[in-house]
């Protein structure tokens, strides 16, 4: 399990307006590109220093590529990161205020306590 890398994807995409749109429009291509080009970047280094070992497992890669936020919850991605990014991508497609957020809750209704562990 590499929950940290899932969170790193959500975190780095959410803070970049261009990447938010790119992930919305081409999720599978964006995940593939990100894993290849960005997964190993050490975030406070700008000189090319990088890690060498970061990669998604198959379930994580597929959940991200499918925009499958219930699966991300199940895998222990940080729920705040997932929620914030998915609101940014999909709230605009819903007419009523908060209707995306409510639908999001309904799609997670099969989870009960204890929720999947989010510790990284």
Binding region for other proteins (CB under 8 A): 4, 7-8, 11, 14-15, 17, 42-44, 73, 78-84, 87-88, 98, 101-102, 104-106, 108-111, 113-115, 118-120
Instruction: Give me the least distance between CB of 18 and other proteins, in Å please.
Output: 11
Assigned token pair, 109: 């209704």
- How many other C-beta atoms can be found within 10 angstroms of the C-beta atom of residue 25? 10
Residue number with CB closer to other proteins (44 or 47): 44
Instruction: Give me the least distance between CB of 104 and other proteins, in Å please.
Output: 7
Instruction: Give me the least distance between CB of 108 and other proteins, in Å please.
Output: 4
Residues in CB range of 51: below 8 A, 6 or more apart: 40, 41, 42
- How many other C-beta atoms can be found within 10 angstroms of the C-beta atom of residue 95? 7
CA dihedral over 116, 30, 65, 97, signed as positive or negative? positive
Residue number with CB closer to other proteins (36 or 115): 115
């Amino acid at each position: 399990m590499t929950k940290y890398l899932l969170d790193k994807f959500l975190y780095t995409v959410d803070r970049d307006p261009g990447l938010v749109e790119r992930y919305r429009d081409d999720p599978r291509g964006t995940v593939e590109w990100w894993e290849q080009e960005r997964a190993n970047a050490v975030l406070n280094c700008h000189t090319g220093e990088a890690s060498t070992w970061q990669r998604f497992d198959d379930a994580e890669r597929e959940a991200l590529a499918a925009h499958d936020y219930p699966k991300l919850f199940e895998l222990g991605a940080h729920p705040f990161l997932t929620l914030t990014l998915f609101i940014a991508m999909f709230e605009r497609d819903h007419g009523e205020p908060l209707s995306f957020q409510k639908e999001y809750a309904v799609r997670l209704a099969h989870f009960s306590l204890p929720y999947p562990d989010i510790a990284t």
